[in-house]
Amino acid sequence: MSTDQPSNDPFRKQGPSGEGNEPPSYGDSAGPYGTPPPPSGGQGEDPYGGGPYGGAGGPYGSGPYASNPYGDMAGAADPLAGMAPLASRGKRLLARIIDALLIGIPIGLIMGFAQGGWATDDSGRTFGQQAVYTLVYLVYEALMLSNSGQTVGKKLMRIRVAVLADGTVPRGAPAWIRSLVYHLPPLVPCVGFIFWLANVLFCTWDKPYRQCLHDKAVKTVVVATD
Over residues 197-219, the pLDDT tens digits come to 999 999 999 999 999 999 999 99
**pLDDT band at residue 121 using 50, 70 and 90 as cut-offs:** low
pLDDT at 177 over 90: yes
State the Cα–Cα distance between residues 143 and 141, nearest whole angstrom: 6
Q: What is the pLDDT of residue 172?
A: 96
Strand partners, 14: 21
State the Cα–Cα distance between residues 62 and 80, nearest whole angstrom: 14
Identify which of 208, 91, 65, 109 has the alpha carbon closest to the alpha carbon of residue 155.
Answer: 91
State the Cα–Cα distance between residues 212 and 174, nearest whole angstrom: 14
Over residues 55-107, the pLDDT tens digits come to 333 334 444 454 455 545 555 458 888 889 999 999 999 999 999 999 999 99
**pLDDT band at residue 126 using 50, 70 and 90 as cut-offs:** confident
State the Cα–Cα distance between residues 96 and 183, nearest whole angstrom: 12
Q: pTM of the full predicted structure? A: 0.65
> Strand, coil or helix: what is 104?
helix
Out of 103-117, 118-132, 155-169, least confident range: 118-132
| Cβ-based neighbour number of residue 216 at 10 Å | 18
Out of 18-22, 83-87, 101-105, 177-181, least confident range: 18-22
Contact of 155 with 207, CB cutoff 8 Å: no
Those residues whose C-beta lies under 8 Å from the C-beta of residue 81, and which sit 6 or more positions away, are: 66
> Strand, coil or helix: what is 11?
coil
